Structure 1
Amino acid sequence: MARHPKSPPPRVAPVRQYSRRAFVRVRYSGAKKAGQWRAHGAYLEREGAQQEGGKGIGFSATSDDVSVSKTADAWQTAGDDKMFKFVLSPEDGARLDLVDYTRKVMARIEQQVGQPLEWCAIDHHNTDNPHVHILVRADKKLFLSNQLINKDAREIAGDEATRALGYRTEKEIQAGRDREIEQRRFTGLDREIQKKLVAEPPQKEGEAAPGTWLVEIKNVDKNQRYADRVLREKKARRQHIARLKALEEIGVAEKVGHMTWRLDAGWDKALKELETLKNRSSMLLQHRELMTDPRALPVVTKLEPGQRLVGRVLGTGMNDATDSAYLLIEGADGKAHFVSQTAKIVELRGEGKLKPGEMVSLESKVSKTTDRPFLIVESLGLEIPSRGFTSVKIPDQILDADLKHREKAGLQLPDPEAARMTSGFAGHYQRALIERSKRRAIEIEKAAAERKAREEKWQKEREERAARRNKRRRKREIDDEIE
């Protein structure tokens, strides 16, 4: 008699896999400069971050009408030296009342900390998943343990989402997994595939392994005890096959057999970089109207000692994923650079500098006293508009500084043909730099010739003076002999 799979015995409580998930990031911010926290709060209140019709109004444990910028500024003005910044992002944020949800999460965190928390928050709906930014007053007594920051806060947030919406159904879980199939990032399906990988052996004996990976998707064993397990494994197999086909389209996988795929070395890193690129592109979109070339590649830039960046400011902003502030620069190299804001950048912004369109230079050097790198940020005193930028003449002083840096660092000029084909401000700057290098070479040659002529003239004059002195001395000697 054929044996049919049976359903598993009932469980006492739903397993962890059915719980709702949430992402929580906790950082702290020091009070380095007056007005710093107010500026951070103002950015969180910016137009367009909340739901349509939102007016940048935050909330707290007891109020639905809170100014995040004024509250944060009041804390700093009172002498607080730091505050904690939370990013609370439940997976099903679009289905939650984020205000009520946040209050419940913070109440439980307050219980765990064992002391009252003073906080304010604002919800954002400008990303794929609605989330909440929370500022918590640290005062001098508040201490958040690593256990809370790294684990407990996330579990509390997930538990409150589960209480509000109930456990995830099998249908919801499978729908979430299906959504991962076409995503251009490293997903949960990829983690499952990663566990099945085996290193591809060398083609010939004695050769080094190629560094690639192989994965074979096998058939499901239908003779298992539990019917639901068979069904889940069948669904997982279908999803893994679909995901591998999607990875073929992305370009990190290749089908090499009936149910076997080869994955490139570093395929997982490539997927994570794709997600990072998507996040940068999303941030770049906020400044697109100010760009002279919207096709500029977004890159995160950290200058190493000796490196220099020249460009025009597009604006400042905050990475909602990391809660870190950045300065966005359309570089003379044709890239859009995200540069983490330093104290010097914040200081210049406070002085009304580094406005959109303004040309700047950033150069990393090493301190002679501390032997640590520091960033020199200089406003070049020239505004390059996003429209009509070719009509703005870039002063020789700016171009000469770049040429001198290139000479010192051993860097070559942009290729003339490539510069001719480059669009936007970068092309305008590169062509001006090349033309200036030609004129500068002529000027240097002319100056060298003039210097040589002057030196020859001075040498001739010195020789003539010496000859006259010798003549006078000889005359005196003759006169002395006559006497």
Structure 2
Amino acid sequence: MRDHEFEPRLGRIGNRAVRSAFLRDVAKAVGRAGGRPHALLRRAGLLGRIGRGAGVGRVLGARDRYAAFRHRRVIVKTRVIKLAGRGSTPARVHLRYLQRDGVTREGLPGDLYDATHDRADGDAFLGRCEGDRHQFRFIVAAEDAIEYADLKDFTRRLMQQMEQDLGSKLDWVAVDHFNTGHPHTHIVLRGKDDRGRDLVIAREYLSHGMRERAAEIVSLDLGPRSDREIEARLRAEVEQERFTSLDRGLLREADEQSTLRSGTTVGDAFRQTLRAGRLQKLRHLGLAQEIGPGQWKLASDLEPVLRRLGERGDIIKTLHHELARQGLRRSAADYVIYEPAENNAQRLVGRVVARGLSDDLKDRRYVIVDGVDGRTHYVDIGQAGESEPMSIGSIVAIEPKPAEPRAVDQTVAEIAAAHDGRYSVDLHLHHDPEARQAFAEAHVRRLEAMRRAGVGVTRERDGTWIIGPDHLERAAAFERTQARRAPVVIETLST
């Protein structure tokens, strides 16, 4: 192949591994030509600045770190949903669930509102979303949201500020939820600007800018935190079994070997006491080790372990709350988190005592089952729509979803092995004369699903598929990915 010729290879959009490999190859070529390859690789970080609000997000994210303590704390979770080719069904299901019973302070269904109406027309909003490429979903939770009698004004001011930052009018609807200990707002934003073009928001604004704007509004309403409030919050973090701002500071100051000193360089006795106390707590958790006087080494998996501990603590609180609401008394020693991914996971049979949403943003649900083994089990059943709904009081059997290659994968691997690593409908029918056209086409649909997931099968222009010798391993990896969306199989035994 000559230098000016190239052959494009199609792949999954957003495949970072392919993009990184491509950048490395280009960097090597630049280096051989006498250029600066490291400068090229650094430009990959500029991808986060593509879209509206990049400058605002960068400025707000780089503000004085002590100002973050002074500001009222707000958590903003963001998810971008691809709607192209899926119609309005996912958006309709999401809106319906946000307006479900029991989410207001009075235990009533949630009210959908927008920039000008306290009762927005959800069907009209979905009609405007028809044909949109994507949609933004936000959860905005101010730590002091309990101080607000109504969150509508706060949400509208936040969206007005976003319009100024992004330079476009925004089409959105929102629902306030008061059914947890932390009042929060769900916002659904169309993926179109006021000119009808795709709305692209910079990653830096989604990561930092929106959160800082929300914190500014809460601080303006309630005033900045006092020194006493800041100190009380930091003291409380010392003993918490979750990832905290103290841990984030320790990781930021640790060197490449994950080592740091317990003392501070600024002579702040209060912060030094917090650091020392937190390091001792991490040592008890097995996540830090004192390797010398005042010299500490942090565990390489400190952040993911602490985040899992925090999630486990939240699940235990959910179990306790739901059982108390049902009037059931259970010892905390009988609380069990069902882990379908573990090798020893067994079939669970019991009565459903509660169900709910564990992650509003990703539509992941859970059920609480009073098992025949005398224990109470928390079960993550996956994304909404992936599992059949079940009523409270029904008797169910739950078991892990198999994450193994299917018979269709075995057939594809067998045919490809007999035809130099290639598969097609024609090859299938030639290999197995008794097979029907529709049966072979089902195998093609399976391969197409794997290709879209970036598993590693390739389709050529003539419809032939290139199948690697490790196809069954790739199929197993694909099944494990699918199992994370819906990790269990549920059978209703009686209602």
TM-score range, shorter chain: 0.5 to 0.7
Following superposition of structure 1 onto structure 2, how do residues 24-423 of structure 1 map, counting pairs within 5 Å?
24-29=76-81, 32=86, 36-51=90-105, 56-66=110-120, 71=122, 75=126, 79-80=130-131, 82-96=134-148, 98-138=151-191, 141-147=197-203, 148-194=205-251, 216-218=261-263, 230=267, 233-247=268-282, 250=285, 252=287, 266-285=301-320, 288=323, 295-298=334-337, 310-311=347-348, 314=352, 317-320=356-359, 322-328=361-367, 330=369, 336-341=378-383, 344-345=386-387, 348-349=388-389, 356-359=394-397, 362-364=401-403, 365-366=405-406, 368=409, 369=444, 370-371=446-447, 372=450, 373=478, 380=491, 382-383=493-494
Q: What secondary structure is seen at the aligned counterpart in 1 of 2:241?
A: coil
Shift of 1:271: 1.9
Could you report, residue by residue, the CA deviation over 1:385-405 in whole angstroms, capped at 9, with x for unpaired residues?
A: 7xxxxxxxxxxxxxxxxxxxx
Distance 2:118 2:378 in 1: 38
Question: What's the TM-score, normalizing by structure 2?
Answer: 0.55
- Give the partner amino acid of 2:141: S
Could you report, residue by residue, the CA deviation over 1:45-76 in whole angstroms, capped at 9, with x for unpaired residues?
A: 3444443566533432123345xxx6168616
Unaligned segments of structure 1, at least 5 residues = 1-12, 200-210, 222-228, 386-483
Q: What secondary structure is seen at the aligned counterpart in 2 of 1:59?
A: coil
Distance 2:302 2:234 in 1: 20
Shift of 1:107: 1.0
C-alpha contact 2:172 2:189 (8 A) present in aligned 1: yes
Could you report, residue by residue, the CA deviation over 1:337-379 in whole angstroms, capped at 9, with x for unpaired residues?
A: 313227553xx44xx8999533355334545343434569866
Distance 1:55 1:378 in 2: 30
How many residue pairs align between the two structures?
Answer: 341
Distance 2:128 2:253 in 1: 56
Could you report, residue by residue, the CA deviation over 1:406-454 in whole angstroms, capped at 9, with x for unpaired residues?
A: xxxxxxxxxxxxxxxxxxxxxxxxxxxxxxxxxxxxxxxxxxxxxxxxx
Distance 1:301 1:33 in 2: 32
Distance 2:359 2:281 in 1: 28
- Give the partner amino acid of 1:79: E
C-alpha contact 1:178 1:239 (8 A) present in aligned 2: yes
C-alpha contact 2:319 2:368 (8 A) present in aligned 1: no
Cα distance change of structure 1 residues 285 and 180 upon mapping to structure 2, 3 Å threshold = same
Q: What secondary structure is seen at the aligned counterpart in 1 of 2:277?
A: helix
Shift of 1:150: 2.8
- Give the partner amino acid of 2:358: N
C-alpha contact 1:316 1:325 (8 A) present in aligned 2: no
Identity %: 23
Shift of 1:88: 1.0
- Give the partner amino acid of 2:262: I
Q: What secondary structure is seen at the aligned counterpart in 1 of 2:402?
A: strand
Unaligned segments of structure 2, at least 5 residues = 1-63, 410-443, 451-477
Residue number in structure 2 paired with 1:465? none
Cα distance change of structure 1 residues 119 and 15 upon mapping to structure 2, 3 Å threshold = same
Cα distance change of structure 1 residues 236 and 46 upon mapping to structure 2, 3 Å threshold = same
